[in-house]
Amino acid sequence: MADFKHRIKELTGRSWGVSMEYRLKKLGQYRRGWTAYFGISQYYRPVPELDEWIRRRMRMCYWKQWRWARTKIKNLLALGEDLKSAIQHGVSSNSNWQMSRTPVIKPYPTRGQRSKVCSV
């Protein structure tokens, strides 16, 4: 399990400068290979905390990719946040990992992206 988490950290690293599509593709490939090797069905979720952790890592990547406060505010508004909340969170000085836990960014990754990656 430690090797799995280490590899996921590499694939969801903040400084890995690849597109999110490529990152999701590689993460999905690794996850499918891991579950196939250990014979875990996609309908059986042995470790739901692991799925939550992977989704949080992806939210952290999105927050890091948005980079500037203006971009963060614009994307939060697109997610349906009100202006006051979007500004408050967009200009926050909290770390990317801390912001990935906030309710405003929880809608990411979207349902379509989750199907590519999640359910370990």
Domain boundaries defined on the chain: 67-120
The whole-number pLDDT of residue 72 equals 92
- The amino acid at 84: K
pTM of the model: 0.72
Higher pLDDT, 104 or 39: 104
The whole-number pLDDT of residue 91 equals 93
What ranges in the chain are assigned the alpha helix state H? Answer: 2-11, 20-37, 48-66, 69-78, 83-90, 96-99, 111-117
Taking the CA atoms of 33, 39, 42 and 46 in sequence, report the sign of the dihedral they define: negative
What pLDDT digit, counting tens, does each position of 68-92 carry? Answer: 999 999 999 988 889 999 999 999 9
The whole-number pLDDT of residue 120 equals 44
Higher pLDDT, 72 or 104: 72
